[in-house]
């Protein structure tokens, strides 16, 4: 598989590059960075002390012309630019970008009529199994339990709540027959009054180098149940993204997520 990486000079981009280079079934075909990046021209494997022959570049057209897949963990505006080019070049996409609004998500759905896309807020196998556990738990804690989602990430993360926290909220809301847009509460301040039992609360922590911690709290009278996932490394995200690209080998078009990739649907 000829795989290009977007955001190739960032923390996640470098982990993706390392994962592709270590996989015998994949070839690094491109390493995309933003226009004006001081890293343009560097070898994509320089941070590993390796010479890959692939240079960091901002040439989107050239990258797509020589690739079959793009793995993109950047930001919504950049991902949508890549999405447009991917359709023209018939390049399949694995998208781990978070922070899309509803209109931007609609653009992803429309593009999936032309190219295969795996779009997931979190590519980790563990997180996606956790989502299945949350669906089960929410159905059994539908009444008498208050639900709070607490997430923590590094100081550089630009969106909150995290895409994974929102995905957890959507799974729980779906299991309870609720609309997350209507029942979500994002942080509290001042005199808020008593907690509405139909709401799902979110709290976001930002600090240091935390890769990603997520806890869902089901708080009843006399007991609390906590379901937690903690990431110690970005490797699990990168390995999941590569697995998603492998899944797309058999899917020319369509919009999928990691539940499809892992057979958890």
What does the alpha-carbon distance between residue 259 and residue 132 come to, in Å, rounded to a whole number?
9
- Using DSSP bridges, classify how beta strands 116-119 and 254-256 pair: parallel, antiparallel or unpaired: parallel
Pairing state of beta strands 116-119 and 92-95?
parallel
- Please name which of 110, 216, 233, 111 lies closest in space to residue 167, comparing C-alpha atoms: 216
DSSP letter, residue 137: H
> In which band, very low, low, confident or very high, does the pLDDT at 56 lie, cut at 50, 70 and 90?
very high
Q: What is the pLDDT of residues 66-97, one digit of tens each?
A: 999 999 999 999 999 999 999 999 999 999 99
- The pLDDT assigned to 121 comes to 87
Residue 265, pLDDT score: 80
For the entire predicted model, the pTM comes to: 0.84
With residue 173 as reference, give the H or E element that holds it: helix 163-176
- Secondary structure of residue 184 in the 3-state scheme: strand
**Hey, what domains does the chain have and what are their CATH numbers?**
2-119+234-261 (3.40.50.720), 125-231 (3.30.360.10)
Q: Output the DSSP codes for 214-259.
A: EEEEEE-SS-EEEEEEEES-THHHHHHHHHHHHHHTT-SSEEE-HH
Catalytic positions, please?
A: 153, 157
């Amino acid at each position: 598989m000829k795989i290009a990486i977007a955001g190739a000079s960032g923390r996640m981009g470098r982990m993706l590059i390392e994962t592709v280079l270590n996989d015998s079934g994949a070839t690094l075909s491109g390493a995309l960075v933003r226009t004006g990046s001081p890293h343009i021209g560097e070898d994509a494997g320089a941070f590993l002390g390796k010479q890959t022959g692939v240079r960091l570049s901002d040439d989107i057209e050239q990258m797509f012309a020589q690739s079959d897949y793009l793995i993109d963990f950047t930001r919504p505006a950049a991902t949508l630019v890549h999405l447009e080019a991917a359709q023209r070049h018939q390049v399949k996409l694995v998208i781990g970008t978070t922070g899309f609004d509803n209109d931007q998500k609609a653009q992803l759905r429309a593009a999936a009529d032309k190219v295969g896309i795996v779009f997931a807020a979190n590519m980790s196998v563990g997180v996606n199994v956790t989502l299945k556990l949350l669906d089960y738990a929410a159905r059994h804690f539908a009444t008498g339990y208050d639900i709070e989602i607490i997430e923590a990430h590094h100081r550089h993360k630009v969106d909150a709540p995290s895409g994974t926290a929102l995905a957890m909220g959507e799974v729980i809301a779906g299991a309870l027959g609720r609309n997350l847009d209507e029942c979500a509460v994002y942080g509290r301040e001042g005199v808020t009054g008593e907690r509405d039992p139909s709401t799902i609360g979110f709290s976001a922590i930002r600090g240091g180098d935390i890769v990603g911690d997520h806890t869902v709290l089901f708080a009843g009278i006399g007991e609390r149940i906590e379901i937690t996932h903690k990431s110690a490394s970005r490797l699990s995200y990168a390995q999941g993204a590569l697995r998603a690209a492998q899944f797309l080998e058999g899917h020319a078009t369509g919009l999928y997520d990691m539940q499809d990739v892992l057979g958890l649907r």
